[in-house]
């Protein structure tokens, strides 16, 4: 009886080992077949299905991984994207120029500042009441203007008058305050006016010409967009010299602006630098 039982147990163990081996082989075969299907896809007739040859419908310049892309298509899309971006930037800048109203001067140096939206409706309150030169600038004497140049140093808060390469005068000035910074670049004097009259842009009150006028005794304009103006002018408040308090204009003491008025001509270059 003991021998019969031992033989039965041995047979059971043998069948279990044999079954385990067969199951292991089946699992291995299944895994191998699955990997081959992923690594080496086979298409009927040797052709790739049409739905796998369609272009990726992502954004400009994007190509789906493994998708069919014609030669130079990615490069073309990227260039087109850059071109569109540049056009958009240009349009945006132009809109700022038209609505901002600040620093749209036809300057030799194009690096200009622009007014923020909150400043667009009350730009430069320091300008003469009437400026017929806005549409018809006064004629300049190019020969006389070429001999003189005004250099404005915003950080130094001074205006320097050059006769050729020699400094012949230097004046303290007040410059544009934060948010209303004086534009930088190269400009030319467009208009010169004795005793400018000023009207308050909010109240409408007209201030007569003279030493007590907010514009002082002289106006020397070097920039205009046809509506807003920036220039040198006098002020009765001499304590503001050296400060950033204006809306873009360059304020001077009345005696100084009178001297500057005699030293420059229409067409004289005004170089404004940081």
CA distance readout (Å), 56 to 61, 66, 270: 10, 10, 56
Active-site hit among 191, 200, 233, 247: 233
| Distances, alpha carbon 42 to alpha carbons 47, 55, 263, in Å | 9, 21, 89
CA–CA separation, 17 and 221 (whole Å):
104
* Residue 200: active-site member: no
Strand order in the sheet with 250-253: 191-194, 218-224, 229-235, 250-253
Length of the chain: 274
**161 in helix, strand or coil?**
strand
To the query of whether residue 233 is one of the catalytic residues in this protein, the response is yes
Phi, psi of 46, rounded to the nearest 5 degrees: 75, 5
| Catalytic hit among 17, 200, 247, 249 | 249
- Residue 213 CB coordination number (10 Å): 21
Query: Is 234:113 a contact under the CB 8 Å cutoff?
Result: no
Annotated catalytic sites, by residue?
A: 233, 249
């Amino acid at each position: 009886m003991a021998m019969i039982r031992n033989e039965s147990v041995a047979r059971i163990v043998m069948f279990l080992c044999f079954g385990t081996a067969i199951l292991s082989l089946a699992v291995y075969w299944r895994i191998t077949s699955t990997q081959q299907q992923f690594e080496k896809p086979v298409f009927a007739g040797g052709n790739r299905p049409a739905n796998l040859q369609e272009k990726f419908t992502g954004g400009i310049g994007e190509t789906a991984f493994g998708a069919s892309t014609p030669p130079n298509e990615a490069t073309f899309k990227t260039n087109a994207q850059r071109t569109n971006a540049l056009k958009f930037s240009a349009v945006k800048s132009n809109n700022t120029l038209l609505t901002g109203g600040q620093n749209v001067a036809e300057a030799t140096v194009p690096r200009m500042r622009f007014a923020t939206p909150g400043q667009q409706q009350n730009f430069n309150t320091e300008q003469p009441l009437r400026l017929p030169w806005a549409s018809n600038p006064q004629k300049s004497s190019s020969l006389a203007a070429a001999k003189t140049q005004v250099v404005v140093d915003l950080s130094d808060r001074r205006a320097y008058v050059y006769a050729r390469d020699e400094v012949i005068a230097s004046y303290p000035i007040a410059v544009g305050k934060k948010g209303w910074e004086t534009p930088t670049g190269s400009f030319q004097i467009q208009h010169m006016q004795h005793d400018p009259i000023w009207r308050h842009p909010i109240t409408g009150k007209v201030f007569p010409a003279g030493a007590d006028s907010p514009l002082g005794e002289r106006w020397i304009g070097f920039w205009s967009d046809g509506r807003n103006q920036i220039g040198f002018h006098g002020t009765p408040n001499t304590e503001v010299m050296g400060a950033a308090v204006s809306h873009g204009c360059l304020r001077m003491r009345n005696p100084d602006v009178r001297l500057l008025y005699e030293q420059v001509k229409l067409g004289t270059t005004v170089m404004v630098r940081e």
